[in-house]
Amino acid sequence: VKSLAKRNVSLARPTGNAAVIGAGIMGGGIAYQSAVKHVPVVMKDINANAIQLGLNEASKLLQKQIERGRLTPEKMAQVLNSIQPTLNYDAIEMSDIVVEAVVENPKVKALVLADVEKHVSDNAVITSNTSTISINQLSLALKHPERFCGMHFFNPVHRMPLVEVIKSSVTSDETVATVVGYATQMGKTAIVVNDCPGFFVNRVLFPYFAGFCQLVADGADYTVIDKVMEKVFGWPMGPAYLLDVVGIDTAHHAQQVMAEGFPERMAVTYQDAIHKLFTASCFGQKTGSGFYSYS
């Protein structure tokens, strides 16, 4: 991470219509957040079931707002109506900004990004929510890479305030400003970073996880580490619990990317606690067991 670039507000084009490709955990959350902050959004997937799950999740979140007295049923209907579900690309033609949030596979993402570019206007900005794939590498799929950058949200999207905006070596200032503007419209705080393994957050987080894993390998009890970090040091949760929330499979993949990017600093050994849990298919909360058991 070289610098946190300054936002050039005057270059930003306001986002009137957005689109999200992929209606999974992240795509569904991004569509909800956009709609709730008054930016109508197209939500495209290849799987009708995924779209229905995305809409159900949005309904549940809105229902909670009604129960807390923060939303009326009329407003809930309005928000849901501003999420346009679709299985084809035609609906994205009017989008000012597109967030690609399909599976974390560089080949699939490259195909999706090229398809998106064919369907949007010459002014539209295209972004990827990838956690680990190089933005420079993804931009090779596009004819106009200057209109492309990373837009990395965190899970759960409606609660996590940060968005990393990741510039490739050719992303234009106008693109960056527009994406920062859209993140702000969504009620998020954007930081602008250069492309590198781990972007910003994982470069901070994974050395912390590595320190934690080294302590465990040295014989420390991870439940004690969690208690100290949470109850005494005052963080919302300790590293073992956080890894279970993130998902051990997701963390393991990011750890590999960091190890490849920074082999001298971030090498992983077979004694590593994340590696051991991954090998045992204990992926954390999503599978019912990780560092802790969830039943």
The site for ligand NAD (CB under 6 A) is made up of 21-27, 44-47, 50, 101-104, 108, 112, 129-131, 153-155, 250
Question: Shortest Cβ distance from residue 150 to ligand NAD (Å)?
Answer: 10
* Whether the Cβ atoms of residue 128 and residue 109 lie closer than 8 Å to each other: yes
Considering the complex, state which of residue 25 and residue 191 has its C-beta at the smaller distance from ligand NAD: 25
Considering the complex, state which of residue 46 and residue 196 has its C-beta at the smaller distance from ligand NAD: 46
152 has catalytic annotation: yes
* Whether the Cβ atoms of residue 62 and residue 76 lie closer than 8 Å to each other: yes
Considering the complex, state which of residue 20 and residue 76 has its C-beta at the smaller distance from ligand NAD: 20
Please identify the residue of the shown chain whose CB is closest to the bound ligand NAD.
Answer: 24
Residue 286 CA to residue 103 CA, distance in Å, equals 17
User: Do the strands 41-44 and 148-152 form a parallel or antiparallel pair, or are they unpaired?
Assistant: unpaired
Question: Shortest Cβ distance from residue 279 to ligand NAD (Å)?
Answer: 21
- For 219, list phi and psi in degrees, rounded to 5: 110, 0
Residue 32 CA to residue 55 CA, distance in Å, equals 8
Considering the complex, state which of residue 76 and residue 190 has its C-beta at the smaller distance from ligand NAD: 190
Considering the complex, state which of residue 15 and residue 128 has its C-beta at the smaller distance from ligand NAD: 128
Question: Shortest Cβ distance from residue 61 to ligand NAD (Å)?
Answer: 16
Q: Which residue has the tokens 């974390």?
A: 104
**Order of strands, edge to edge, in the sheet holding 97-100?**
83-86, 41-44, 18-21, 97-100, 125-128, 148-152, 162-167, 189-194
Name every residue whose Cβ is closer than 8 Å to that of residue 136 and which is 6 or more positions away in sequence.
168, 169, 195
Question: Shortest Cβ distance from residue 10 to ligand NAD (Å)?
Answer: 30
Q: Catalytic residue, from 119, 152, 252, 275: name it.
A: 152
Token code pair at residue 60: 């549940």
Q: Torsion angle of alpha carbons 182, 183, 185, 186, nearest 10°? A: 120
Residue of 249, 257, 256, 133 lying closest to 195 (CA atoms): 133
Question: Shortest Cβ distance from residue 6 to ligand NAD (Å)?
Answer: 25
Active site residues: 152
